[in-house]
Chains A and B, each alone.
Chain A
Amino acid sequence: MTDPHQPYPQAAHPLPYQQAQRSRRLPNVPPAARPHRDEPAAKPGRDRYLDLLRAVALVRVVLFHLFGWAWLTVLFPSMGVMFALAGSLMARSLARPAATVVRDRLRRLLPPMWAFAAVVLPAMFALGWKPVREEGLWWFVRLGCYLLPAGSPPYPEESGSPGGFFEVSWAEQGVGPLWYIRAYLWFVIASPLLLKAFRKLPWVTMLAPTGLTAVLGTGLVTVPGATGEAVLDFAVFGSCWILGFAHHDGLLKQVPRYLVVSSAAIVMGFGLWWASGHLTDEGWNLDEIPLAQSTWSFGFCVILLVYAPSWRRLPGRFAGWDSLVTLANNRAVTVYLWHNLLLMASAYLVDQLWNVPWVGDNLGSYLESSYTVLTLLALWPLLGLAILAVGWVEDVAARRRPRLWPNGAGEDRQEPPQPPRTRSGGHARAR
């Protein structure tokens, strides 16, 4: 019998199993990089898996803003997913000179936002917003955030009168989601630097924002006011954004999968645990619990991206959704910017049902019980109208030929637009 303390034979010769593996297996190429059987690998098309994730995230945001179910934020952390996808694309673009890339990104982001502001701002003034009287001239600087959302754009707490066309909190609900644009802007601007840091110290850079969230989220350090909000958002989703870099650079493929997935699960478990101890009056709405949001989203995105199958086209049962996924991706900014206003509009439309003779009197209780569902049904045509009316701005911003309904029918797909999120969750509900 040999000495049981003799180490493995790997010093003398590699493990025979590993030798065998080497001899009979494909070289260690990440699956994503392997050519697909059914399509030539030469065509650098869009990764439809990522497109599908983005579409799901967008729909989840809309549903959450309508129904306000807190568990939706746990089921699918949309904002983390969106930032991770955007981060991945950003890393890809940054193969070109950084200044050009950042300029291009901003150019594509801002015009849709201006179009939105061009509708919303006049409405707020028309309904009697008198900010200069309240805040003085400093307000003009803040108004600049509608042009370049370096900070959250201002809006009146109450606008219009009770019983008006929309409820008085319409401005808050409509403009509240713009925080996402602000966060995205800062991520884009910081990306060249972040990418450099990431390539030098990948893991440290990736986990640092979550660490920062822990510091901010536990109240060890507090940054006051709007700056604090911006810093917190940056910290909460920073790890997801940089995870996008990691996905693009193939860092996740270098680590054994069991290690990645198990660690991600543990991080997510921590997120849940943290959330359970820090529930707000909105319950499990992770948007209100920064550290839980950060860790849960990060772990969730790690698992989504580590198993990223890199589809050239949507497989099997998803195939039927192809054109909708394409449309959602081409009009993501439009949908995100407008959906909350449109939710209020569709609630208004549903309210009109009570004025229909006979219907209101006899079906009132049914209308009452299916109110949100009716609102949801009314929303999609309105979203369609919004896409037709203002969606083309996204194309102009991207220096493309404006298209009315870009659902991918009969055209080559272009580079993707950018995404959104939900923050003021429950408040932002239409009703």
Chain B
Amino acid sequence: MTRPAPRVGSHRKKRAKRRLPMRYLLPSVLLVALLAMLMLRGYVHSEVLADHRVQPPAPTTQVPANVLEGGPVIDARSATEPAKTLRIPDHKIVLTFDDGPDPVWTPRVLDAMKKYDAHGVFFVTGTMASRHPGLVQRMVDEGHEIGLHTFNHPDLSYQSPKRIDWELSQNQLVLAGAAGIRTSLFRPPYSSFSAAMDNKSWPVTQYIGSRGYLTVVNNTDSEDWKRPGVRAIIERATPEGGQGAIILMHDSGGDRSQTVAALDTFLPAMEQRGYEFTHLTAALGASSAHTPATGFALLKGKAFVSAVGVSERITDVLVVGLAVIGVLVMARFGLMLLLSFLHARRVRGKGFSWGPPLARPVSVLVPAYNERECIAATVRSLVASDYPIEIIVIDDGSTDGTADIVRALRLPNVRVVRQHNAGKPAALNNGIAHARYDIVVMMDGDTVFEPSTVRELVQPFADSRVGAVAGNAKVGNRDSLIGAWQHIEYVMGFNLDRRMYDLLGCMPTIPGAVGAFRREALDRVGGMSDDTLAEDTDVTMALHRDGWRVVYAENARAWTEAPESVQQLWSQRYRWSYGTMQAIWKHRRAVIERGPSGRFGRVGLPFVSLFMVVAPLLAPLIDVFLLYGLVFGPTGKTVAAWFGVLVVQAVCAAYAFRLDRERMVHLISLPLQQILYRQLMYVVLLQSWITALTGGRLRWQKLRRTGVVGTPGAQRTGRAAAGRDRRPVA
């Protein structure tokens, strides 16, 4: 660097630079590799670059008369002499098979040829040969000749010289990879007899001759592709009066059983009549058309053919993956709908109660770090509560005078506890130590309660088995697009996921924005811990293992402000998903333990892991296939499938909205959410996976500092950091 860098923050910048690539690089490399493989597959399946136009007949004024009337082998290689044609000598037949190799029919054709010791020429396309290289090798091994039939079978008269060169060289590349040879024989796609050459196809033939190839058309067309019956094929293939012939047949492109059956009759019959089935150069008495491929061309060919092999297999793997995720997603939706229906019916039933109504006072803890903008509204909303509470604001070393704002309100029942900045778990533990009552409600410094929230939230504690209660966090700023998306996510998360988890007894998280704990339960598990980035998930799992019930109180609503920028959302969700992974890992021993811990470990933990950590890993597949399907088809079916999934989601979302009596209008942003938001979420999860696998152990404190760097405007930063705890899903 020639310029001295500013000192402040230069160190951080460097670190950020080093870390950034990891975040984007791995997922994007993975995605690009996947897409490249799919592209390759589409390419060798003629879904890319395929051109199915066929030139209509044209005048023949430019074609030399000797070609029009000549033999089926056209030699236009010489630049100085006019093109000449060659005929096959009498009593020799050159069988030619176009468009292969085909995995089903080519082996049978080869078997028949072998049986009667016949040889012929296979004009292979690059696409088919690259997918079935073993068959090309077998052709060569069994003494047949290979000719080029272009890479993906376009009518060359439509193509530029560049494309023609490319078709030939790609075809050679595949031959080199499959059998280690080059060939000098060529047959143009859609060709027939020499007499059919016209002003469109002749220049192509001349051009290809100038590249050193013999153009081989035919003079006896079996028309086997029309499947006219074995007898008709034989009849058309039989040359007149002992003449030599190049016979056109096909070993690919559909059902070729008639061709194979015809060969079984035709070969012995013609051999009896004194015919010899040879390959082309033998019939013409020339040296072999094959030359060994060497050096770089050979390596390139091998690399290409093996890449195609991988892509063929990878798509199979992907299809299985897609099926798995499809089944998982649908099963989850079904289970959620069923269980949330049962849950809602149960808790809304006439006779339902948790026990005698609770009326004893509780403590409300408000941990706050730089919440100047919202803390007053938060505390005022608590004071308006219709339930007896004491309010403890724990100021975690704020630098913006948060504590002073609360003091200045001079509200009764509100205490402020200050501490040096030590993180949220420490602040909560500090608050618990100061709390007077045996039930502790926890909320965020930027969350607003309704007057009835606390009362609704603590009622389940009438049941002495309940250790903790999750409330219902609502997104307040739902008018922006990103807000509306999170609103949908929250409503679904709280009304479907949480009801399901409640009934299954494996609620993974009490949201930090609105939750209540039995103090005795907290004491037994040792309070909040800073072992993970998600202390709320951590403590909830600990409660499960200690045998407490964790339930959901749907009417305990808390209004929160969701992140408004992609960057804030990203860091929030990164902490959630990485924290969840940490918590699952921390409590992994539950799987083998006895008692309630074991029950949670063997039912809840795998369930949560499956749907929160593993399934989203497969989610990108949906998009990869969507893209692939859109580009290479079947486009209609792909779009229909996508809409099908969308409809299922819309139904689930609509049911969740109904349960929460929300206005349905926000669901209009659901389609866009599926195109933009979902991808963001799984990229975040991928990033968490990468962090976990590369052994990064980011601490909450450290992360908060990074957040300061990332966000312009210090006031938003505190919010961004504190905004981590309104977890809609788990």
Chain A residues with CB under 8 Å of chain B are 1-2, 4, 7-9, 15-21, 23-24, 256-259, 261-263, 265-266, 269, 276, 369
Contact yes or no, A256 B479, CB < 8 A: yes
Q: How far is the CA of A17 from the CA of B381 in the complex (A)?
A: 9
Contact yes or no, B559 A7, CB < 8 A: no
27 A–B contacts from the bound complex (CB under 8 Å): A1-B352, A1-B456, A1-B459, A2-B452, A2-B555, A4-B347, A15-B559, A19-B448, A20-B374, A20-B377, A20-B378, A20-B381, A20-B476, A21-B476, A21-B477, A23-B377, A24-B376, A256-B480, A256-B484, A257-B480, A257-B481, A258-B481, A258-B485, A259-B665, A262-B669, A263-B668, A269-B671
Q: How far is the CA of A373 from the CA of B459 in the complex (A)?
A: 74
A100, chain B: closest CB distance, angstroms: 39
Of all chain A residues, the one with the shortest Cβ separation from B372 is A24
Contact yes or no, A261 B377, CB < 8 A: no
Contact yes or no, A24 B451, CB < 8 A: no
Q: How far is the CA of A161 from the CA of B121 in the complex (A)?
A: 52
B653-669 contact mask (Cβ, 8 Å, vs A): 1 or 0: 00000000100011011
What residues on A are CB-neighbors of B481 within 8 Å? Answer: 257-258, 261-262
A47, chain B: closest CB distance, angstroms: 22
Contact yes or no, A258 B669, CB < 8 A: yes
A328, chain B: closest CB distance, angstroms: 31
Lowest 4 A-B CB distances belong to which pairs?
Answer: A17-B559, A258-B484, A20-B377, A17-B476
Contact yes or no, A266 B348, CB < 8 A: no
Dominant SS among interface residues on chain B: mixed
Q: How far is the CA of A116 from the CA of B669 in the complex (A)?
A: 48
What residues on A are CB-neighbors of B668 within 8 Å? Answer: 258-259, 262-263, 266
What residues on B are CB-neighbors of A9 within 8 Å? Answer: 450-452
What residues on A are CB-neighbors of B671 within 8 Å? Answer: 262, 265-266, 269
Contact yes or no, A16 B374, CB < 8 A: no
Q: How far is the CA of A7 from the CA of B450 in the complex (A)?
A: 13
What residues on A are CB-neighbors of B661 within 8 Å? Answer: 7-8
Cβ of B198 within 8 Å of any chain A Cβ, yes or no, is no
What residues on B are CB-neighbors of A256 within 8 Å? Answer: 478-480, 484
Q: Which residues in chain B, 510-525, are within 8 Å of chain A measured between CB atoms?
A: none
What residues on A are CB-neighbors of B478 within 8 Å? Answer: 256, 258
Known: A261-B481, A262-B481. A18 touches B476 (CB 8 A): yes
Q: How far is the CA of A369 from the CA of B474 in the complex (A)?
A: 60
What residues on B are CB-neighbors of A258 within 8 Å? Answer: 478-481, 483-485, 666, 668-669
B357-380 contact mask (Cβ, 8 Å, vs A): 1 or 0: 000000000000000011011100
Q: How far is the CA of A97 from the CA of B449 in the complex (A)?
A: 53
Q: How far is the CA of A305 from the CA of B626 in the complex (A)?
A: 29
B244-276 contact mask (Cβ, 8 Å, vs A): 1 or 0: 000000000000000000000000000000000
Q: How far is the CA of A52 from the CA of B449 in the complex (A)?
A: 45
Known: A4-B348, A16-B559, A24-B374. A262 touches B448 (CB 8 A): no
Cβ of B635 within 8 Å of any chain A Cβ, yes or no, is yes
Of all chain B residues, the one with the shortest Cβ separation from A257 is B480
Cβ of B672 within 8 Å of any chain A Cβ, yes or no, is yes
A299, chain B: closest CB distance, angstroms: 11
Q: Which residues in chain B, 314-362, are within 8 Å of chain A measured between CB atoms?
A: 347-348, 352-354
Select one of A16, A23, A257, A276 contacting B450, CB under 8 A: A16
B443, chain A: closest CB distance, angstroms: 13
Cβ of B535 within 8 Å of any chain A Cβ, yes or no, is no
Q: How far is the CA of A263 from the CA of B672 in the complex (A)?
A: 10
A10, chain B: closest CB distance, angstroms: 10
Most buried by B among A15, A18, A20, A258: A258
Contact yes or no, A24 B373, CB < 8 A: yes
A203, chain B: closest CB distance, angstroms: 15
For the complex with contacts A9-B451, A16-B449, A24-B374, 7 further pairs of A-B residues with Cβ separation under 8 Å are A1-B459, A20-B381, A20-B476, A20-B559, A258-B666, A261-B481, A262-B481
Q: How far is the CA of A63 from the CA of B587 in the complex (A)?
A: 60
What residues on A are CB-neighbors of B456 within 8 Å? Answer: 1-2
What residues on B are CB-neighbors of A262 within 8 Å? Answer: 481, 484, 668-669, 671-672
Cβ of B554 within 8 Å of any chain A Cβ, yes or no, is yes
Q: How far is the CA of A23 from the CA of B374 in the complex (A)?
A: 9
Q: How far is the CA of A416 from the CA of B604 in the complex (A)?
A: 65
Contact yes or no, A4 B669, CB < 8 A: no
Known: A1-B459, A269-B671. A24 touches B377 (CB 8 A): yes
What residues on B are CB-neighbors of A265 within 8 Å? Answer: 671-672
Contact yes or no, A1 B353, CB < 8 A: yes
B452, chain A: closest CB distance, angstroms: 7
Q: How far is the CA of A302 from the CA of B483 in the complex (A)?
A: 19
Of all chain B residues, the one with the shortest Cβ separation from A12 is B451
A357, chain B: closest CB distance, angstroms: 25
Of all chain A residues, the one with the shortest Cβ separation from B344 is A4
Select one of A7, A19, A259, A266 contacting B377, CB under 8 A: A19
Contact yes or no, B672 A1, CB < 8 A: no
What residues on A are CB-neighbors of B483 within 8 Å? Answer: 258
A308, chain B: closest CB distance, angstroms: 15
Of all chain B residues, the one with the shortest Cβ separation from A272 is B639
What residues on A are CB-neighbors of B559 within 8 Å? Answer: 15-17, 20
What residues on B are CB-neighbors of A259 within 8 Å? Answer: 665, 668-669
Of all chain A residues, the one with the shortest Cβ separation from B667 is A262
B639, chain A: closest CB distance, angstroms: 8
Contact yes or no, B554 A261, CB < 8 A: no
Of all chain B residues, the one with the shortest Cβ separation from A256 is B479
A147, chain B: closest CB distance, angstroms: 46
Of all chain B residues, the one with the shortest Cβ separation from A1 is B459
Q: How far is the CA of A301 from the CA of B479 in the complex (A)?
A: 20
Known: A16-B559, A266-B671. A257 touches B479 (CB 8 A): yes
B443-460 contact mask (Cβ, 8 Å, vs A): 1 or 0: 000001111100010010
Q: How far is the CA of A1 from the CA of B554 in the complex (A)?
A: 11
What residues on A are CB-neighbors of B162 within 8 Å? Answer: 369
B553-577 contact mask (Cβ, 8 Å, vs A): 1 or 0: 0110001100000000000000000
A93, chain B: closest CB distance, angstroms: 31
A427, chain B: closest CB distance, angstroms: 21
Of all chain B residues, the one with the shortest Cβ separation from A263 is B668
Q: How far is the CA of A266 from the CA of B643 in the complex (A)?
A: 13
What residues on B are CB-neighbors of A24 within 8 Å? Answer: 373-374, 376-377
Q: How far is the CA of A259 from the CA of B665 in the complex (A)?
A: 8
What residues on A are CB-neighbors of B474 within 8 Å? Answer: 17
Q: How far is the CA of A276 from the CA of B354 in the complex (A)?
A: 57
Of all chain B residues, the one with the shortest Cβ separation from A15 is B559
A200, chain B: closest CB distance, angstroms: 25
Most buried by A among B376, B377, B666: B377
A296, chain B: closest CB distance, angstroms: 16
Contact yes or no, A4 B480, CB < 8 A: no
Q: How far is the CA of A4 from the CA of B479 in the complex (A)?
A: 26
A5, chain B: closest CB distance, angstroms: 8
Q: How far is the CA of A182 from the CA of B452 in the complex (A)?
A: 64
Q: How far is the CA of A262 from the CA of B481 in the complex (A)?
A: 8
Q: How far is the CA of A276 from the CA of B639 in the complex (A)?
A: 12
Q: How far is the CA of A21 from the CA of B353 in the complex (A)?
A: 35
What residues on B are CB-neighbors of A257 within 8 Å? Answer: 479-481
Q: How far is the CA of A23 from the CA of B352 in the complex (A)?
A: 39
Q: Which residues in chain B, 119-177, are within 8 Å of chain A measured between CB atoms?
A: 162
Q: How far is the CA of A315 from the CA of B107 in the complex (A)?
A: 66
Of all chain B residues, the one with the shortest Cβ separation from A306 is B481
B175, chain A: closest CB distance, angstroms: 27
Q: Which residues in chain B, 521-562, are within 8 Å of chain A measured between CB atoms?
A: 554-555, 559-560
B613, chain A: closest CB distance, angstroms: 29
A279, chain B: closest CB distance, angstroms: 12
What residues on B are CB-neighbors of A21 within 8 Å? Answer: 476-477
Q: How far is the CA of A19 from the CA of B378 in the complex (A)?
A: 11
Q: How far is the CA of A2 from the CA of B556 in the complex (A)?
A: 11
Q: How far is the CA of A266 from the CA of B674 in the complex (A)?
A: 13
Q: How far is the CA of A15 from the CA of B456 in the complex (A)?
A: 17
A244, chain B: closest CB distance, angstroms: 22
A353, chain B: closest CB distance, angstroms: 20
A16, chain B: closest CB distance, angstroms: 5
